[in-house]
A and B are shown apart, each in its own frame.
Chain A
Amino acid sequence: DAKTTQPTSMDCAEGRAANLPCNHSTISGNEYVYWYRQIHSQGPQYIIHGLKNNETNEMASLIITEDRKSSTLILPHATLRDTAVYYCIVRGLHGGATNKLIFGTGTLLAVQP
């Protein structure tokens, strides 16, 4: 699985868009980009995933560059409850049963009032 690089921390004003970057320059053609987040003291929560097209759901949007070497998670209107550690994970199909998600240290997003 490709390694990802994320900033350690970011701040965002409440009500503004939060844009969280992720570099995955060694991503291969069949690897997906996943985003999870972990609010303090809780288990991680799935946000969104994508392969090469931009994706949007009720929580966020995922923008993947054309060369797929980086992506950005966008929370359109950040609230205080969005303060969390955000993990960018790259994973592809495996022939066996492995379903390992490799969590790095993520980006701590602090939404400021």
Chain B
Amino acid sequence: NAGVTQTPKFQVLKTGQSMTLQCAQDMNHNSMYWYRQDPGMGLRLIYYSASEGTTDKGEVPNGYNVSRLNKREFSLRLESAAPSQTSVYFCASSKTSGQAYNEQFFGPGTRLTVL
């Protein structure tokens, strides 16, 4: 049981390049999330998927797109990377959303640098 896995672990992009961050969970969770964490800051929600086939914007969605490929996988795409998107990206999952008990399980993160 690997929990939440993310690939790649590290990535360096040039401004304007595109890339997709991959996330998968093996806990049969319905809900998945993408957060970013800038240095010295807390996590901010980019997008989430309450269930397979649905996605919604979080606090900071601009410049990103997501795809809930199936129940296990939730990808985050940067179409045209900008230096302001340099951050650590965390994927998380939980059994359900909209419930008070919403323990989220986090992946190890992807460290992205945009030059």
Query: Interface of A with B (CB < 8 Å)?
Result: 30, 32, 41-46, 49, 51, 87, 91-106
Contacts and interface: CB of A to CB of B under 8 A. Distances in A.
Q: B interface, how many residues as a size bin? A: 20 to 34
B99 A93 contact: yes
Contacts of B104: 44, 46, 99, 101
A41 to B, nearest CB: 7
B97 A99 contact: yes
A103 B33 CA distance: 14
Contact of A105 (B41, B48, B101): B41
Interface string B23-41: 0000000010101000011
Nearest to B56: A97
Contact of A98 (B4, B97, B100): B97
Contacts, number: 75
A103 B96 CA distance: 19
14 contacts: A43-B4, A43-B108, A44-B106, A49-B103, A97-B31, A98-B48, A98-B56, A99-B94, A99-B97, A99-B104, A100-B58, A101-B104, A103-B35, A104-B42
B105 A46 contact: yes
A87 B42 CA distance: 9
Contact of A100 (B59, B108, B109): B59
B109 A42 contact: yes
B66 interface: no
Contact of B100 (A43, A87, A93, A104): A93
B62 interface: no
Given A93-B100, A98-B97, 19 more contacts: A42-B108, A43-B4, A43-B90, A43-B107, A43-B109, A44-B43, A44-B92, A44-B104, A45-B106, A87-B42, A91-B100, A95-B98, A96-B98, A98-B56, A99-B33, A101-B45, A101-B102, A103-B35, A103-B43
Nearest to A92: B100
